[in-house]
Amino acid sequence: MYVLETRQVRKAFGEGETQVEALKGVDVGVRPGEMLAIMGRSGSGKSTLLTLLGGVDVPTSGQVLLEGKDLATMSDDERTLMRRQRIGFIFQSFNLLPILTAEENVALPMELDGVSAAEAKRRAGEVLELVGMAGRKSHIPGKLSGGEQQRVAIARALAIRPAILLADEPTGNLDTANSKRVTAMLRELVDEHQQTIIMVTHDPGVALMADRVVHLLDGNVEREEVHRDKSPAVVPVTSAPRYVEARRK
Ligand SMILES: Nc1ncnc2c1ncn2[C@@H]1O[C@H](COP(=O)(O)OP(=O)(O)OP(=O)(O)O)[C@@H](O)[C@H]1O
């Protein structure tokens, strides 16, 4: 059972001779408490796929199902609400407001969503603690390292307790040390809090931390690598290799 999945998703941009088919019939899904990485060279369709998975855009054909419900059957308002309440987004650029403290950056979207200031502050404290930033909650982004800023952005995304965290190149702007710290933290969210994560990455080291990696090529799934099998029917085999590479039919 997948929390979020695509079924034969196609996405075309433009018309006629200038039409680009960014996705050509993609099936991917993420299981509860699984970390799925999406890789592929530039232009292979990764960002387009993430946009569809997050309900920011709709496919030309095929389905995107969140907990079994087809996003295309929702009205724009319903889809926006679903996105605000069920999906957390993080990006390569941290998108923090420079004049607000870490705590205020995390609390603000909740307050805009109608949560009281006191409750937003309480929840901000909780998620900043979760990402190891409780000690720096009064700092403005300019006083934080890139890795710390990304952790604040992750806290902001987690504040709504999202069913899925979607990450577009979360380590793309970070040096190696910070990239490792942020990736380890995402892994911890999966292992200790069963957070479900889908992340697009170019970095094979980051992808190695995922349970599964889907490789896209020219708008199709090229292959899938399983590092840790999170399917319910798995029987542990002690002699199994560290990961199994399965070519798709
Ligand atoms: N809004 C759009 N209008 C027209 N073409 C688009 C649009 N968005 C994406 N495309 C095209 O769809 C294809 C897939 O793009 P996409 O951004 O999903 O790839 P990507 O794998 O994320 O690339 P990158 O790693 O460079 O971000 C590309 O050929 C791109 O030019």
Question: Residue with the nearest Cα to atom 11 of ligand 1?
Answer: 22
Amino acid code (one letter) for 46 = K
Amino acid code (one letter) for 108 = L
* Ligand 1 geometric centre to CA of 204 (Å): 21
Q: pLDDT per residue over 176-218, tens digit each? A: 988 998 999 999 999 999 999 999 999 999 999 999 999 999 9
Q: Given ligand 1 and candidates 44, 56, 58, which is best to mutate, with the most ligand atoms within 8 Å of its CB?
A: 44
Q: pLDDT per residue over 67-107, tens digit each? A: 999 998 999 899 888 888 899 999 989 999 999 999 999 99
Residues 67/98, Cβ–Cβ less than 8 Å? no
Q: 60: domain range? A: 4-247
Question: Residue with the nearest Cα to atom 28 of ligand 1?
Answer: 43
Work out the pLDDT band at 233, boundaries 50, 70, 90: low
Question: Residue with the nearest Cα to atom 12 of ligand 1?
Answer: 22
Residue 247: pLDDT over 80: no
* Ligand 1 geometric centre to CA of 65 (Å): 22
Q: Degrees (nearest 5) of the Cα angle 129, 134, 138?
A: 145
Residues 197/4, Cβ–Cβ less than 8 Å? no
Distance between CA atoms of 165 and 174, rounded to whole angstroms? 19
ipTM: 0.96
What CATH number is associated with residue 133? 3.40.50.300
The per-residue pLDDT for 220 is 97
Distance between CA atoms of 187 and 184, rounded to whole angstroms? 5
Tokens of 12: 């075309």
Distance between CA atoms of 239 and 5, rounded to whole angstroms? 31
How crowded is residue 114: how many other Cβ atoms within 10 Å of its Cβ? 7
CB-defined site of ligand 1, < 6 Å: 13-14, 20, 22, 40, 42-48
Q: How many domains does the chain have?
A: 1
Q: Which helix (H) or strand (E) holds 246?
A: strand 244-247
Tokens of 31: 């299981």
The DSSP bridge partners found for residue 220 are: 217
CB neighbour class for 92 (10 Å; exposed up to 12, middle 13-18, buried from 19): middle
Work out the pLDDT band at 241, boundaries 50, 70, 90: very low
